[in-house]
Structures are given as structure tokens and as C-alpha cells.
Amino acid sequence: MIMTDFDLKQIDKSKQVFFVGIGGISMSALAHILKNDGYSVAGSDFKESETVQALREMGIPVSIGHAGENVKDAGIVVYTAAVKADNPELVAAKEKGILAIERATLLGAMMKNYKFPVAVSGTHGKTTATSMLAHVLCSAEMDPTILVGGVLPLIGGNMRDGGKDYFVTEACEYCASFLKFFPLYSIILNVEEDHLDFFKDLEDIINCFRTFVAKTPENGAVIANFDDENVRKTVENSDKRIISFGTEWENADYTAKSIMFGNEGFAEFDVYRRGEQYLHIQLNVPGMHNVKNALAVIAAADLLGTDGEAIQRGFLSFKGTNRRFEKKGEINGAIVVDDYAHHPTEIKATLKAAKTMVGSGKVRCVFQPHTYTRSLALKDEFAVAFSDCDDLVLTDIYAAREKDTGLVSSKNLVDVINENSHNAVYIKEFDDVAEYLKKRAQPGDIIITMGAGDVYKIGENMLK
């Protein structure tokens, strides 16, 4: 029995909530919160991991491998969109008449337990903006519950189980998952073409965000980036409360002025709220894109009643999350950085930030494209995304959830990039990429391992 309309009251606390793939970053966080709230929790995963071990230490039994007998004590089964219908635990749940719900459905139901649930959405920047807001709310001692799609040093992982007032989570549009959420306040950072293995086109994506906006309750609000034309389209003619932010939109509710960048690419600026000077902010993460992320967070924090000094302290303490322009070390005097960017707009923003930091040095990058559908659909955008990179290597496409269709390859991408006067090369083996970059690294350079797959291993190999 599979359903989407779900309430936590439907869970029998005497029976297990069973998570299929409990070792995943989002699934483990939900399991953690439910366990702390007094529910019986169990799960399975395909391999041992630090996350699995940590769950066991909490008293959550985890089976390695998927088998129908694992769900024999379950009252409800939770799965992700990545789990196939023929998964033996899902099959067994169906045969036994056990309720099965998607992770997003459970998360949406959990949001109803909090007074002020906040959802951070957008094609890019969700993890960074969510992490920024976590720092701000923790600085204000507001005891937030946080779910973030990366490892945030402040909270020692990807989640913080706080009080029942403030709840902050990323809200991903893939498979329209965020339509199962129930935020009081939502942030929309940007809207672009992506996940075209699910969406038909950009208009389909915009319509999905429009539906997300329409779900906002009467006492809620949507915090929208008015610098982004597509975001403006998602909120135009909406009867919901819309709070705008931006650096280019002149009449935005929250905007930044007198923006200055230091040697490390970190911005310092004045925030104006509805035309009046409000705060002076210093960031410890680079790039203009992070100024916009900060404005979104300031608008949300202000809406939640956060003290201005706590907002300033929160930004000063935030130095990024793992895999978001994360400094890994140095080699031959060059800084090695790892970054999760995998969409052309993210790539441009990351490389632009790096370019402001190197001075006379060079920006050297190895990029691992992520999924065949994205690589094919956005091939022309990838062709011009690396203009701020001086030395570019592409390695094979990371398939993730997909199979190779034969329609696109990293060699194809190198060809279209080089048609735009860039000297990109294709290197298959990670060890060979590491050697290539080590030989070329010079003092003052920045070397970036870039992509959403396992490309970070190249940087780790170089630094060994």
C-alpha cells in the first residue's frame, strides 16, 4: 500500500518505522529524529558505513543487504525515489499490506510538528543557504532542527535535532519531491533547467515551482530572488506573501550595497531592508553568488525574529560546508579545493570566485560531469561555462542513477568546449589526472576538483 497523504499519527509506535537505504544522508537524518522522538526505528543498506555504525550506536538495528524478511516487524516502510519497485523489501511490504511512503512524504509530515518550518529551494545553492541559516539561528540560540544535504562542521554532520519551534530543510524539486512538504516559509534561490530526466523542459520546472508557491499557507511567505527572471515568473500573480531579495533588482525588499571583495574573494556589504540600511555583513565564503545566498538567509532570519547582531555573528562563523569550495590542502604551493558544482551556472560562479582569489596564479580544474541527461541537455551551456579556468581536464561522466545511452561522453564535451577557444583535455584515469595536475601546479594556483560524483578522490590522491 503506497500513499502520499500521510500524518505521523498514522504510525503505531509499537511497530518499526523501517528505512530502505537508511545509510543515505537524508534517510539517516530522518531516522535519527524519529528515534529521538520515541519511535521504533530500523533499516537496511547495501553496505557498511560510518553512518550505519552511528545509527547502530543510537540503538537502531541496520541490516546489510535488502531482503523481504527485514520488514517482518515493520508498521511502515520508508523509501527514496531511487529505490526500484522490485526492491525485495518494498515487494514484501506490498504483499503484507504494510504502508510504504516516500522519504519526502515522511519529511513533509514531520514538518507539521514544528511551529516555523522553513524550506530552502532552488536549482543551486540549497546546501550553502541552509547551512548559513543554521549558523545564524544557532548563533541566536534559537535551537533549530536542521536537515542539510552536506556535512556542516557546526552541527557535526548533516542534521541537528533541536527544539520543536524552528525547522530548516533543503527542498529539492527533483521528482517534484518538495510538493510533499509543508513549509510556513520558503526560499527560492534560483530556477534553471536541470533534472531533465524528470522534467520536460524549463517551463515544466517553472510550473512545478509555481505549484510549490501555491502551497504556501495564508500566514506564510515566499522569499524570492528577484534577480532571477524565472523566479519572478514562479511568483507573479501569486496571492501569497512574497518577500524579494537581490543585488540587481532595484526595489527588492532586501538588497546589498557597497559590496567589496577582499583578497580571498570574501564579500563585505551593507544590507538594506525596504530601502533603509539594516545590517553590515562580512562573509567568510567567496563569490558574488554567496552575497545573494546571504540576502535570502537574512530575509528568512528577519522573518523568524532573529536579532541583527546574531545574524552578523552567524555569517562570521560560517566558513562553508564539505564539498562547497572546501580547501583540502596544498601541493607545490598551489591550493587544492573541492567543489560540488555540476551545473553550468554553478561552475561559472565557482570559477569566477576562484579567479578573484588567484591574482597572478592560474585556476586549474578537473571536472567530472554528472549524469548523461544533464551532460547532453546542457552541452551548449557547458561549452561556455569554463571561461575563468586556465587549465581544464574532463574525466568520465559520473552515471549516478543512469545508464550510458551512447549519446554523449566527456570526449564530446571536450570537443564543444574547445570550439569555444578553451584548451580542455580528456583524461580517463583518476591517477593520471592527479599526476597531470601535480606536474603543472605552481605557487599561487588554485586546483579545483569539481563535480557531484567521486571526483574529490583526485585531490585526495594528489595530497597523499
**Contacts of 260 by beta carbon, 8 Å cutoff, 6+ apart:** 267, 268, 269
The x, y and z cell numbers of residue 79, run together, are 523509501
370 DSSP assignment: B
Which class for 53: exposed (0-12), middle (13-18), buried (19 or more C-beta within 10 A)?
A: exposed
The answer to whether 304 touches 122, Cβ cutoff 8 Å, is no
Cβ distance 375 to 406 under 8 Å?
A: no
316 with 284: CB under 8 angstroms? Answer: yes
Longest alpha-carbon distance in the chain: 66
Helix (H, G, I), strand (E, B) or coil at 171: coil
Asked about 170 being catalytic, the answer comes back as yes
Q: Which three cell numbers stand for residue 211?
A: 505549484
How would DSSP label each residue in 268-315?
A: EEEEEETTEEEEEEEEEEESHHHHHHHHHHHHHHHHTT--HHHHHHHH
What is the separation of C-alpha 136 from the centre of its chain, rounded to a whole number of angstroms? 18
Angstrom distance (rounded) from CA 418 to CA 436: 19
Catalytic residue among 102, 123, 126, 395: 126
Which H helix or E strand runs over 110? helix 103-111
Residue in 89, 170, 173, 193 annotated catalytic = 170
- Taking Cα atoms as reference points, which of 289, 352, 336 lies closest to residue 449? 336
Give me the catalytic one of 51, 123, 127, 395.
127
Residues linked to residue 261 through DSSP beta bridges, in sequence order: 267
Active site residue 126: yes
- Show the beta-strand stretches assigned E in 49-165: 62-64, 74-79, 99-102, 116-121, 145-152, 157-160
Q: Taking the CB of residue 415, how many other CB atoms lie within 10 A of it?
A: 14
CA angle 173, 292, 268 (to 5 degrees): 155
Residues with a known catalytic role: 126-127, 170
